Amino acid sequence: MTESPIEADSEIEVFNPADAAVIARIPVDSAATVRAKVANLRAHQRDWEDLGPRGREVWLRAFQDWILDNESRIADVLQSETGKTRADAVVEAPAVADLIKYWSGHARRYLADTRARPHSPLFAIKALSTNYRPYPVVGVITPWNFPFAAPAMDTIPALAAGAAVLVKPSEVTPLSAIELVKGWREIGAPPVFDLAIGRGDTGAAVTDQVDFVQFTGSTRTGRRIAVRCAERLIPCSLELGGKDPALVLADADIDRAVNGITWGGMVNSGQVCTSVERVYVETPVYDEFVGKLVAKVDSLRQGKDGKDFRFDIGAMATPAQRDLVARHIDDAVAGGARVLTGGTPRGGFYEPTVLVDVDHTMACIREETFGPTLPVIEVADEAEAIRLANDSEFALSASVWTRDTARGLRVARRIEAGAVNVNDVMANAFCVAVPMGGWKQSGMGARFGGRAGILKYCRAQAITAPRLPAPSDEVMWYPSTRLGAGLATAVMRATAARGLRRIGLRAPRRG
Ligand code: NAD
């Protein structure tokens, strides 16, 4: 296997994007270091698996306590490397503690062997079961928008399943993931959770070594990882970009729609895969909605936050991300769109922006913006809203706003997206009992989804065993005879055939 070339002794500079101050320099892991880390994880994984769900739960619960005990410091760290507001920063640690409670508490039931009845009388004497055994080493590769929660949310179910995990956090925000692994070490847990620091080439080195890749990031990188995983014949699960539509129907509670869509488009400076990125509003309520939306967005406070919750909107995570947002807005304005509020970059920030008079060919509608922008389009009716919502290569999630829940549910079933929230935004991403995954270019596979969320990290192993003392020979074993083959096929025919003639009990009609 060829190793990815990684510049020896290179390091990563970590910035606070709110004031461009350099806050840390972290050495990059070479491909050889990644290989050694995976070998070490592999060496300890079997003991971790053998602890069983109950034994693993003890460590996971201790980790849950550590996270809650260090909640404020974790928020400081992730705020320092993202420029988030305090309100955006404080949710990540408790959200992870909540996930640990869920996965560790349910693992025993979800991982239990399943039994099945033989489908044919030929196997009536067999006891059939399926065991679930973890992929030994799972690689978790993550982006920068939730630097503590993103590495944790996929690591926890993998650890609960009995896998060892190597996280490769974004090069933009490695400090929060370093805290996460530090916590695991501080509680004295078995060495089955480690970190690989670096850029894309370190991520490629991880993909080259692990047994399963759980990736969250852009569609472009996800495709490259899928190709590499296909070459290695290992599975991957891809959580990719989005361009989530919000459909505001004429019977919506407009105040709730405005408040929800403003939050859904602006939270974390719009840098959420499930951000609202396109809004379709039925004509009868278009003017009222746009008026109230502009007033709401206008009222948002933006700036470099401390610990005192002074601001609603923080910085963009990188200058490149700010420039991408600016490009989408400038391109839209050049094409005839109007900015009703915002529309300007300020240092490491981009102003919360509402755009109207946009059309479906513009970059702000076709590409992922990942910024605090809300382009709004007027539609004639529900059918047009659905048609335009589905006119995208992305299909991560969507929202429908109506006072008629039955109508909301009916519209939801016609939207092409991995999740639809009725009268809410992003709610599914916090509900681990249902899957969070994208369709089309937004992903392959899903995280969460109750039992499926932990079984995805397992290989299913079928076990058959005799229920009665077994004879010394079987009818199909050697030597081959007409009688043996005839008996076996007669039973198969009897179970598969429809009608006496096919069973072979009545002679076929002639002529
Ligand atoms: P990115 O694809 O640039 O990078 C993501 C991670 O992949 C980083 O750690 C990066 O170092 C690594 N990487 C880059 N090249 C690699 C390679 N060849 N092999 C292995 N790893 C490689 O994404 P980003 O800019 O960090 O994050 C923003 C994107 O993430 C957006 O598109 C957003 O929608 C998406 N995202 C999706 C979800 C979801 O659940 N669907 C959640 C959050 C973010």
Instruction: Give the pLDDT of residue 434.
Output: 98
Tens of pLDDT along 333-345?
A: 999 999 999 999 9
Provide mean pLDDT across the span 446-474. Answer: 97
Of 383, 372, 419, whose CA–CA distance to 399 is shortest?
419
Q: Could you give the 3-state DSSP secondary structure of residue 279?
A: strand
Distances (CA, A) of 244 to 128, 304, 362: 44, 27, 15
Q: Pick the atom of ligand 1 nearest to 225's CA.
A: 19
Residue 506 has pLDDT above 60, yes or no: yes
**Based on the domain organization, do 91 and 216 belong to the same domain?**
yes
**Residue 443 placed within a domain:** no
- Cβ neighbour number for residue 307 with a 10 Å cutoff: 12
Tens of pLDDT along 199-247?
A: 999 999 999 999 999 999 999 999 999 999 999 999 999 999 999 999 9
**Based on the domain organization, do 116 and 209 belong to the same domain?**
yes
Residue nearest to atom 24 of ligand 1 (CA): 143
**Residue 467 placed within a domain:** no
Q: What is the 3-state secondary structure (H, E, C) of 23-90?
A: EEEEECCCHHHHHHHHHHHHHHHHHHHHCHHHHHHHHHHHHHHHHHHCHHHHHHHHHHHHCCCHHHHH
Q: Peptide bond preceding 479: is omega within 30 degrees of 0, i.e. cis? A: yes
Residue nearest to atom 38 of ligand 1 (CA): 273
Instruction: Give the pLDDT of residue 503.
Output: 84
**Based on the domain organization, do 425 and 332 belong to the same domain?**
yes
Report the chain's mean pLDDT, rounded to a whole number: 96
Residue 184 has pLDDT above 90, yes or no: yes
Residue 332 has pLDDT above 90, yes or no: yes
Provide mean pLDDT across the span 427-431. Answer: 96
**Based on the domain organization, do 175 and 287 belong to the same domain?**
no
Q: Tell me if 120 sits within 8 A of 54, measured CB to CB.
A: no
Q: Tell me if 416 sits within 8 A of 75, measured CB to CB.
A: no
Q: Which of 26, 173, 195, 218 to mutate to test the pocket of ligand 1 (most atoms within 8 A of CB)?
A: 218
**Based on the domain organization, do 107 and 215 belong to the same domain?**
yes
Protein residues whose CB sits closer than 6 Å to any atom of ligand 1? 141-145, 168, 170-171, 199-200, 203-204, 207, 216-218, 221, 224-225, 239-242, 273, 368, 370, 396, 438, 443
Of 466, 451, 463, whose CA–CA distance to 129 is shortest?
463
Instruction: Give the pLDDT of residue 6.
Output: 60
| d(CA 428, ligand 1 centre) in Å | 21
* Residue 273 appears among annotated catalytic residues: yes
Instruction: Give the pLDDT of residue 8.
Output: 52
**Residue 441 placed within a domain:** no
For residue 231, what is the domain's CATH number? 3.40.605.10
Of 293, 87, 79, 95, whose CA–CA distance to 176 is shortest?
79
Residue 504 has pLDDT above 90, yes or no: no
**Residue 394 placed within a domain:** yes
| d(CA 126, ligand 1 centre) in Å | 47
How many domains does the chain fold into?
3
**Residue 66 placed within a domain:** yes
Tens of pLDDT along 126-179?
A: 999 999 999 999 999 999 999 999 999 999 999 999 999 999 999 999 999 999
Instruction: Give the pLDDT of residue 509.
Output: 61
| d(CA 465, ligand 1 centre) in Å | 45
- Catalytic residue (choose from 171, 179, 239, 382): 239
Instruction: Give the pLDDT of residue 3.
Output: 47
Residue 413: phi and psi, rounded to 5, are -70, -15
Q: Could you give the 3-state DSSP secondary structure of residue 340?
A: strand
Reading the block at residue 313, the tokens are: 């909107």
In this prediction, residue 5 has a pLDDT band, given cuts at 50, 70 and 90, of: low
Provide mean pLDDT across the span 443-468. Answer: 98
**Residue 6 placed within a domain:** no
Sequence-separated (6 or more) residues with CB below 8 Å from residue 27: 9, 10, 11, 12, 197
Distance CA 337, CA 332 (A): 5
**Based on the domain organization, do 256 and 347 belong to the same domain?**
yes
Residue nearest to atom 40 of ligand 1 (CA): 239
Crossing angle between the packed helical segments 219-232 and 200-209, to the nearest 10 degrees: 30
**Based on the domain organization, do 315 and 212 belong to the same domain?**
no
Reading the block at residue 219, the tokens are: 């569609």
Instruction: Give the pLDDT of residue 67.
Output: 98
| d(CA 222, ligand 1 centre) in Å | 7
**Residue 338 placed within a domain:** yes
**Based on the domain organization, do 212 and 260 belong to the same domain?**
no
Of 320, 319, 80, whose CA–CA distance to 176 is shortest?
80
Residue 147 sits at the vertex; the CA angle it makes with 231 and 190, to the nearest 5 degrees, is: 75
For residue 320, what is the domain's CATH number? 3.40.309.10
* Residue 458 appears among annotated catalytic residues: no
Residue 396 has pLDDT above 80, yes or no: yes
Domain that holds residue 502: 479-511
Tens of pLDDT along 40-59?
A: 999 999 999 999 999 999 99
Of 268, 267, 255, whose CA–CA distance to 296 is shortest?
255
**Residue 446 placed within a domain:** no
Residues above pLDDT 70, as percent of the chain: 97
Distances (CA, A) of 429 to 268, 432, 438: 15, 7, 12
**Based on the domain organization, do 425 and 485 belong to the same domain?**
no
Sequence-separated (6 or more) residues with CB below 8 Å from residue 322: 316, 345, 348, 349, 350, 371
**Based on the domain organization, do 184 and 252 belong to the same domain?**
no
**Based on the domain organization, do 403 and 492 belong to the same domain?**
no
Instruction: Give the pLDDT of residue 511.
Output: 46
Q: Pick the atom of ligand 1 nearest to 222's CA.
A: 2
Distance CA 142, CA 393 (A): 22
**Based on the domain organization, do 342 and 317 belong to the same domain?**
yes
Residues above pLDDT 90, as percent of the chain: 95
Q: Tell me if 60 sits within 8 A of 100, measured CB to CB.
A: yes
